[in-house]
Structures are given as structure tokens and as C-alpha cells.
Amino acid sequence: MTVPQRWPLPAMAFGGDWNPDQWPREVWQHDITLMRQLGVNLLSLPVFAWPQLEPSEGEYRTDWLAEILDALDAAGIGVALATGTATPPAWLVRAHPEMLPVRADGVRLDFGSRQSYCPSSPVFRAKVAALTTILATRFGDHPALRLWHVSNEYGDHISRCWCEVCAASFRRWLLRRHGSLAGINAAWGTKVWGQLYTDVEQIEVPRVTPGPDNPARLLDFERFCSDNVLELFRLELDILGELTPGVPRTTNFMGLFHDLDYWRFAAVEDLVSNDAYPDPGNTASHTDIALSYGLMRSLKSRPWLLIESAPSAVSWRPVNVPKAPGQLRAHALQAVAHGSDGAMFFQWRAARTGPERFHSAVLGHRGEASRSFAEASQLAADLATLAPVAGSRVRSSVAMVVDWDTIWALRPDASLPAEISWHAEAHQHHAALHQLGLAVDSVALPGSDLSRYAVIVAPTLYVTSDAQAEALTEFVRGGGTLVVGAFSGVVNECEQVHAGGPPGPLRELLGVEVDEQWPLLETDEQIVEFDSGARTVGRFWAEWIEPSDDVEVVAHYDGRPLHDLPAITRRRLGEGAAYYVSAGLPLDSLTPWLHQVCAEAGVDVRMSANPSVEVVTRTDGATDYVFVINHAPTPAEARGPADADVLLAPDGDPPVRRASGLSITLPPFGVAVLRMPSTTPSLHHVHSIEV
Ligand code: GAL
């Protein structure tokens, strides 16, 4: 058999999850005919077919899958072959009920949904390894195989388990991390509240306790759970790597998923793929989802793949709003604009049974007559037109620090001065930057190359290590502009407050000391006044800070309780500047303030007159591809450079070229893609598009 090049595909990926195992044989060929008609080139399967692949212990049946793969290959359709391990079959669970996961309150969850496994279970892991080995051995050479799709959405439903097996693994993990029992006691500060352990066996996973739990224990448990699932992922990756070297491996991520440190997951796989389900009923969802797309392209600094999205409604929100006409295309091309080399759907054919019987599909319950089939056909044509964009990078000069230690530590039950959520602060800062027309990348600290960016924003970096502070200091010295939000540099990796108080290792860089956090009551009206004279009422948070002499105050508190104290400071260092924002700023003042900060840092800022129109540029170094996407149900106007070539025209009126520029009318949810020669290799530069 001649095996074609596996990856990358010669075109943008287009297709989705297909579950032929849920349908009678006669449907298979009909589906494949329709797929060919649409230009499908990649399918994920068989994601949940373990019971059909191994109907009883050790009895493997793969012929049906071989028949399907052969038929797909004959049709020229590639496969992201799922290892099928996301849901163990009933016979396995009933034979080994100890592999079912246990909640923090001790309840063991039963079979009857999916992901019914404890990630540590030895029997589950052994059976996962066996099935992966069977599939890799049987299909590793199959010409339809393009990618391995390992398990499915790790952590969706189950990423944590509180059973005895997990407790034993947790103890081993703690000993590895802290070296000894004494190390664990010291890291956790167990002398407080009489928590001292005299034998490691006394340490348990944090189950329900009478009062507030030890924050360091909780943070270590989060890290352990993420690492534990990572170990499960690696088990499969290692088998696949050994048996089928050269076949890329991925698992589908879930955006800014709380439970798993995706920096660590991405480091061990070959391709980042992601599932995205922006809510069509939420007018801000394109802004929110862009933050997670920034993470996806940054995890490996390479294009990623939108491997799942909904053709229309999902079935798991309280109200599942369908996509309006055109929105399927706008959502899919937004992901492409942000670095995905393709767009795939969950799923090809709508289920008639089970919990997802009301989830949309390319083939809805009306089959080819479904609206989603027509809209997906149009998208297929668009993706074919956009083939030259594949492999290119997104131009971005601004990045946000994404750090799972801080995400995990800022939990609502962590006994903090007040509730403060990384996600809420990240979305707030991102919304401001997005409104300024900026595509925001993500950076890991330490680890990422910060020198690629003009501005780095850390909305809150509660857990800060010395190494992180050093990386940020070097960035600023080298000419970067850093914006650090409130409640940063507060604790070390063991959740111990830094000696001398916040901002701990960032003290010198920022040139401030925090005397006290000053969370605000709903009724407090703490005014923040900028040096421009602009005034705003702060949101939920303030701090009593004392600046050093070489620090400029760029905004101060006015009125009680923090009258005249600095609210925002700037310290110039080397070629750059470091800002500390101690106040929670509302969006309408954060946006203009970040506008000024970015403009001063030399970033091309285009304050959008219409926040529903998004402009994102991909470049391959020679050519720039500028995506202009209207996310609103009403038409919008945009204007580009007169010499821009229109690679993808929006539906409706064709763009009008005048000496003054190219006028584009975007219909509701319309998309245009312009093509222009790259004027600079710097990823900072963007073309001027007025909206
Ligand atoms: C994802 C999952 C798919 C499907 C989809 C529905 O979370 O990976 O299997 O359930 O959601 O939106």
C-alpha cells in the first residue's frame, strides 16, 4: 500500500466526528457519497466505540473499522483515528467497579454516561494500553490514517477523582515534588491549625472538610490531577509513538479549560487541536472565544486545528440557540483567522438517540435537506479558496500570561481577601484588547519567547515564582511594556505569602509595595482618576500601595477609602516600562487606558468603531491574509487598502475599489479575506482596515 503524506493535509481540513458505528451499514456509503460531494477530507472516528471494538474481555473486533477506513480511503477521505478509549464499556466497568470515579463527598459515580473511569485506575490504564496497541498495530499503516485522535476531551466530565487509588498516587506525587514528609509539611505550612502529618499515609486527597481547607494542599491536588491525566495521555502517546512513528498525535482540547495545564499537554503531543462552542446567543462570544484561540496558536507557536465545533445549536446549555444564517461560516472562519488550519464539526450525522439527539450536525435530522448541510457546503468552498492561508502565522504583538497555578489557586473557597477569578480578569483585559483590534497571543512563564511581543499583560499573577519575575524583568529591560494587574506576586508556588508581602519577586520590577488588599463592597464608590483627568468608579478591588521614588503615578484613588493613594503606577526600566494596576477597572476605562499604553509601546492599535467586526491577519512572510469578519446580525462596512486583492469576497455586493480604498459591505455574519504583500516580516505590523 502506498501511504500518502500524513500531515499536514494538502488543503485546509474540513470534516468532523463521524459515528458510523451508531448507524446501519446502508447509511455508511450514502454518507461517504455526501462527504465527497462536500469535499470532506478529514473525519474523527470511532470516538466512543470501545464496546464495538472489544465486545468482551480480550475479544477485539476491528474488521468493521477496517471496512470503513478502506471505503474512506477509496473516497480520498483521511481519518483522525480515535483510540476509542474515552469511555470504557459496561462489561469492563461491571467487572471492575473499583475503576469508577469517586467524588469529593465520597459518592462513586455509576456507569450510564461517558468517561466513567478513574484516571488512576490500574485496570483501566491496562485496558487503555491494550486497545491502543491493537489499533496502532492493525491500522498504523493504513493509508487513510492522517492523525491519532487520542481519547476525547480529557477532563470533560472527569479530571479529578477522590478514590483510594488516587489518594495513594497523590501521596507518591507529593513525595516526588517535595522530597519527603518534612518537605510536604514545610510546603503546606501544616503547623497552622494543627495540620502536621507524622506519617505520609495520613495524607488524603482533599475530600469534604469541616471548614476551610489548606490552600497549598488544594493547589497541589489540582496540579496532581492535571499531571495524573497527563500520565494517562502519555501512556497512549508512548505506545503510538513507538508503534507508528511519523503519525502525528493529538487530543482535542477545550479552550481555556480550568482543570488541565495545557502547556504541559501540548508539549508532549504533535499537533494542537481544539473544540470550540461559542454561544450563538451571546453577542460577546466571538470576543471570549478569541482569547482561547490565542492560547491554541501559542501552545506550540504553530497553526492548530479546530477539530470540533457545532454546525448550529448544541444540546448542553440551558437554552440552546441555533446559529443564524451565515453564523456557521463566521464562527468557522474566525477560528481559521486565529490560526486554525481547517474547521471540523461535531458531528457529521445527527444522533436520533442518546443525550445528544438535539445537538445539531452537518446532516441534521432532515439529512441533506438540513440548513446546516447547505451552510457547511458553502464553508467547504470557502476553505478550498483559503488553501494558501494554511501554515501561516497570526500577526500579534500583544500576549497574555496564562498560568495554571494562578488559575487554580484563585478558587472561590481559597480564603482570599475577596473572590477574584483569573478567568474573569483575563476576559476583561482581553475584551479591551480585542476592542482595540488586537489579536492576543498567550505566553507561559517562564518558557515562552517574550521578546516577540511589544506588550505583555498579566491580568493577575497571584502565584509568582522568582523565575517568572526574572523573565518579566528581562522582557521589560529589553524594551517591552508590561501590564500587571491587581493581586499579583502574592504567593510562591507553595501558596505561601512572599516575605515582605506582595508583589514579592515583582517588587523591584514594579517599584511598589502592597500594604493591604482593599476589596470593595458593591456599595463602595472608589473613584480612580487618571493623569489625563478621566475618572471612573473602580470595580470590586483596590489596594493600598506605596510606590518607590523612581515610580510615576499614572492614576490615583480619589475619595474614600483610599483617597490620594496611587491606583496605577509605571516604572521605567532599561528600554521598557512596567505598569502595576491595583484597581479593578471597568471595561469602558480599561479599554482607552490600554489603548494609550499599547500606542506608546508602538503597537498598531485600531480602536474599532464597530466591535462586532473583527480584523485578524495571518502571514506567511511574503503574503498577508486579512480576515474581516462581521459577527453581528446586521450589515457592516469596512474599508481596506486600495491595492488589496480580494481572496474571499463576502456574499452580496462585491467590494468597490476606489482610489481612496477598497469599500467592503459585509452582510450579517459576512466574511471577507483580503490578500496583500507582506510589508514587514515583523509580526507586529497590521494593515490598516477601518471598520
Ligand atoms: C464535545 C465532545 C463531543 C460532543 C460535543 C457536543 O464536548 O467532545 O463528543 O459531545 O461536545 O457539543
Q: What is the 3-state secondary structure (H, E, C) of 330-354?
A: HHHHHHHHCCEEEEEECCCECCCCC
CB crowding 324-339: b at 16 or more within 10 Å, else e: eebbbbbbbbbbbbbb
Residue 467 inside a domain? The answer is yes
Q: What is the per-residue pLDDT for 679?
A: 79
Q: What is the pTM of this model?
A: 0.97
User: Which atom of ligand 1 lies nearest, measured to the CA of 310?
Assistant: 12
Q: Over the stretch 469-499, which tens digit does the pLDDT of each residue have?
A: 999 999 999 999 999 999 999 999 999 999 9
CATH code (residue 638): 2.60.40.1180
- State if residue 604 touches ligand 1 by the CB under 6 angstroms criterion: no
Instruction: Look up residue 303 and give its three cell numbers.
Output: 497553526
Alpha carbon distance 543, 486 (integer Å): 8
- Do 402 and 370 lie in one domain? The reply is no
User: What stretch of H or E contains 527?
Assistant: strand 527-530
Look at residue 4 and tell me whether its pLDDT is greater than 80: no
Find the radius of gyration of the CA atoms of the chain: 26
For the residues 226-246, what does the mean pLDDT come to? 98
Confidence of residue 560 (pLDDT cuts 50, 70, 90): confident
For the residues 432-451, what does the mean pLDDT come to? 96
- State if residue 223 touches ligand 1 by the CB under 6 angstroms criterion: no
Look at residue 340 and tell me whether its pLDDT is greater than 80: yes
Which residues are known catalytic residues? 153, 308
**Last-in-domain residue among 557, 576, 600:** 600
Residue 411's CB is within 10 A of a number of other CB atoms, namely 18
In Å, how far from its chain's centre is CA 214? 29
Residue 42 inside a domain? The answer is no
For the residues 456-480, what does the mean pLDDT come to? 98
Distance from the CA of 312 to the center of ligand 1, in angstroms? 13
Q: In 337-477, where do the E strands start and end?
A: 340-345, 393-394, 398-401, 440-443, 455-458
Confidence of residue 684 (pLDDT cuts 50, 70, 90): low
Confidence of residue 2 (pLDDT cuts 50, 70, 90): low
Alpha carbon distance 255, 278 (integer Å): 10
Distance from the CA of 566 to the center of ligand 1, in angstroms? 47
Q: What is the per-residue pLDDT for 550?
A: 96
Q: At what angle do helices 63-74 and 25-38 cross, to 10 degrees?
A: 30
| Residue 521, burial from CB neighbour count under 10 angstroms (0-12, 13-18, 19+) | exposed
- State if residue 603 touches ligand 1 by the CB under 6 angstroms criterion: no
**CA-nearest residue, atom 5 of ligand 1:** 346
- State if residue 346 touches ligand 1 by the CB under 6 angstroms criterion: yes
User: Which atom of ligand 1 lies nearest, measured to the CA of 48?
Assistant: 9
Q: What percent of the chain has pLDDT over 90?
A: 95
Q: Over the stretch 116-140, which tens digit does the pLDDT of each residue have?
A: 999 999 999 999 999 999 999 999 9
- Do 581 and 644 lie in one domain? The reply is no
For the residues 280-296, what does the mean pLDDT come to? 97
Residue 127 inside a domain? The answer is no
**Last-in-domain residue among 572, 600, 628:** 600
Distance from the CA of 482 to the center of ligand 1, in angstroms? 37
Query: Based on the structure, what is the number of domains in the chain?
Result: 4
Residue 94's SS3 state is helix
Residue 504's CB is within 10 A of a number of other CB atoms, namely 23
Residue 353 inside a domain? The answer is yes
Confidence of residue 399 (pLDDT cuts 50, 70, 90): very high
- State if residue 153 touches ligand 1 by the CB under 6 angstroms criterion: yes
Parent domain of 564: 398-600
Residue 380 inside a domain? The answer is yes
Pinpoint the alpha helices (H) of 343-409: 371-385, 404-409
Q: What is the per-residue pLDDT for 260?
A: 98
Q: What is the per-residue pLDDT for 621?
A: 94
Alpha carbon distance 599, 684 (integer Å): 12
Alpha carbon distance 62, 70 (integer Å): 12
Alpha carbon distance 229, 157 (integer Å): 13
User: Which atom of ligand 1 lies nearest, measured to the CA of 156?
Assistant: 7
- Do 529 and 427 lie in one domain? The reply is yes
Distance from the CA of 628 to the center of ligand 1, in angstroms? 28
Q: What is the per-residue pLDDT for 140?
A: 98
Residue 229 inside a domain? The answer is no
- Do 402 and 347 lie in one domain? The reply is no
Q: What is the per-residue pLDDT for 683?
A: 57
- State if residue 308 touches ligand 1 by the CB under 6 angstroms criterion: yes
| Residue 663, burial from CB neighbour count under 10 angstroms (0-12, 13-18, 19+) | middle
- State if residue 293 touches ligand 1 by the CB under 6 angstroms criterion: no
**CA-nearest residue, atom 4 of ligand 1:** 346
Look at residue 690 and tell me whether its pLDDT is greater than 90: no
* CB 355, CB 368: distance < 8 Å: no
Q: At what angle do helices 285-299 and 327-337 cross, to 10 degrees?
A: 30
Distance from the CA of 346 to the center of ligand 1, in angstroms? 7
- Do 211 and 285 lie in one domain? The reply is no
Cα distance between the two ends of the chain: 53
Place of cell 487520542: 150
**Contacting residues for 188 by C-beta, under 8 A, at least 6 apart:** 195, 214, 216, 217, 220, 494
User: Number of C-alpha atoms within 13 angstroms, CB side, residue 63?
Assistant: 1
Residue 207's SS3 state is coil
Cα dihedral 55, 61, 66, 67, rounded to 10, equals: -70
Alpha carbon distance 128, 151 (integer Å): 9
- State if residue 275 touches ligand 1 by the CB under 6 angstroms criterion: yes
User: What stretch of H or E contains 656?
Assistant: strand 656-658
Q: What is the 3-state secondary structure (H, E, C) of 217-286?
A: HHHHHHHHHHHHHHHHHHHHHHHHHHHCCCCCEECEECCCCCCCCHHHHHHHCCCCEEECCCCCCCCCHH
- Do 361 and 415 lie in one domain? The reply is no
Tell me the best of 113, 153, 260 to mutate to test the pocket of ligand 1, counting ligand atoms within 8 Å of each CB and taking the most: 153
Task: For residue 672, give the amino acid letter.
Answer: A
Residue 98 inside a domain? The answer is no
Q: What is the per-residue pLDDT for 608?
A: 76
Distance from the CA of 114 to the center of ligand 1, in angstroms? 11
- Do 373 and 477 lie in one domain? The reply is no
- Do 642 and 578 lie in one domain? The reply is no
- Do 495 and 536 lie in one domain? The reply is yes
- Do 540 and 660 lie in one domain? The reply is no
User: Which atom of ligand 1 lies nearest, measured to the CA of 316?
Assistant: 12
User: Which atom of ligand 1 lies nearest, measured to the CA of 254?
Assistant: 7
**CA-nearest residue, atom 2 of ligand 1:** 153
- Do 325 and 420 lie in one domain? The reply is no
Q: What is the per-residue pLDDT for 643?
A: 87
Look at residue 38 and tell me whether its pLDDT is greater than 80: yes
Residue 563 inside a domain? The answer is yes
Confidence of residue 247 (pLDDT cuts 50, 70, 90): very high
Residue 270's CB is within 10 A of a number of other CB atoms, namely 18
**Last-in-domain residue among 331, 365, 389:** 389
Q: Over the stretch 191-227, which tens digit does the pLDDT of each residue have?
A: 999 999 999 999 999 999 999 999 999 999 999 999 9
- Do 383 and 409 lie in one domain? The reply is no
Confidence of residue 515 (pLDDT cuts 50, 70, 90): very high
Instruction: Look up residue 533 and give its three cell numbers.
Output: 483627568
Look at residue 556 and tell me whether its pLDDT is greater than 70: yes
CATH code (residue 574): 3.40.50.880
Look at residue 274 and tell me whether its pLDDT is greater than 60: yes
Q: Over the stretch 586-642, which tens digit does the pLDDT of each residue have?
A: 999 999 999 999 999 999 887 777 889 999 999 999 999 999 999 999 999 999 998
